[in-house]
């Protein structure tokens, strides 16, 4: 079970209960200000279960407004819009920030779990070429070789059920011209920090077992492993740098 918990931590899933699709997009200007767009959609079966238990209003604007305080000093609520699609229901919330170095971006897809899990933080250096650095929370120490565990079929089956249809994405879009980044996942001006399609990732059970084992061994093993896995884009480095200029 420990190996699965460590894998969940690496995938931003420790606080996930039910099937969720989450997208967090950070847009940063050359002066270090910008916006944070958080989109969360909860699976329809989870929505039905929660409503059957008596909750009718699942996404409240007042909660979204209050959540700005958890995202860091100087973060303000901009807007919230309800969403509904074939997968489920949710909301898209936009926040503004004046200083990205004070921002705390949750890795977990729900507000309750984000309160407990360490967030992503940032460093920023202004200049003709601005440099944004994403700082990940410290990784757990590597597990001793004789204590490494591999998830069994029952654990993987349960994990598949818990994450059915789930997707998580965190990306950064510098508002200017991207010069270079240490992330291997770039599309135009969009730098992907992490993007996971759990159905695709878990369809390859052998690959997922390798991932769980590599994550217990250390950073080098994890980086080598994720290069060959389908359904996951991630830069496991402790820091990810993004250099850009104004347009």
* pLDDT tens digit sequence for 11-24: 444 344 458 899 99
Inside any domain, residue 84: no
153 in a domain, yes or no?
A: yes
| Total of domains in the chain | 1
Whether residue 43 is contained in a domain is answered as: no
Task: Identify the band that residue 244 occupies on the pLDDT scale cut at 50, 70 and 90.
Answer: very high
Q: How far apart are the first and last CA of the chain?
A: 49
Domain membership of residue 127 (yes or no) is yes
Contacts of 65 by beta carbon, 8 Å cutoff, 6+ apart: 77
Is residue 92 in a domain? no
pLDDT at res. 159: 85
133 is a domain residue: yes
Quote the radius of gyration of the chain (alpha carbons, Å). 18
> Which residues 6+ apart lie within 8 Å of 219 measured at CB?
139, 236, 237, 238
* pLDDT tens digit sequence for 125-153: 999 999 999 999 988 888 888 888 888 88
- Six token digits for residue 160: 């598949």
Residue 86 three-state SS: coil
Is residue 132 assigned to a domain?
yes
Predicted local distance difference test score (pLDDT) of residue 16: 46
180: containing domain? 2-32+100-245
Please report whether residue 224 resides in a domain. yes
């Amino acid at each position: 079970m420990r190996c699965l918990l460590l894998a969940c931590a690496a995938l931003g899933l420790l606080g996930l209960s039910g099937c969720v699709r989450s997208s967090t997009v950070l847009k940063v200007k050359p002066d270090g200000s910008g916006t944070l767009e958080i989109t969360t959609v909860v699976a329809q079966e989870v929505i039905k279960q929660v409503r059957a238990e008596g909750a009718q209003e699942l996404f409240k604007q007042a909660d979204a407004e209050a959540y700005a305080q958890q995202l860091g000093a100087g973060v303000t609520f901009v807007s919230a819009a309800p969403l509904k699609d074939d997968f489920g229901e949710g909301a898209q919330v936009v926040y503004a920030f004046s200083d990205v170095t004070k921002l705390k971006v949750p890795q977990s897809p729900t507000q309750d779990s984000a309160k407990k899990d360490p967030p992503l933080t940032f460093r920023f250096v202004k200049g003709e070429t601005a440099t944004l650095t994403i700082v990940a929370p410290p990784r757990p120490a590597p597990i001793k070789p004789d204590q490494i565990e591999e998830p069994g079929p029952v654990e993987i089956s349960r994990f598949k059920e818990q994450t059915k249809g789930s997707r998580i994405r965190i990306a950064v879009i510098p508002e200017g011209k991207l010069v270079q980044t240490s992330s291997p996942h770039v599309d135009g001006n969009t730098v992907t920090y992490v993007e996971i399609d759990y159905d695709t990732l878990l369809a390859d059970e052998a690959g997922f077992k390798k991932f769980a084992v590599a994550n217990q061994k250390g950073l080098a093993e994890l980086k080598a492993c994720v290069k060959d896995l389908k359904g996951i884009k991630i830069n496991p480095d402790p820091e990810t740098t993004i250099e850009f200029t104004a347009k």
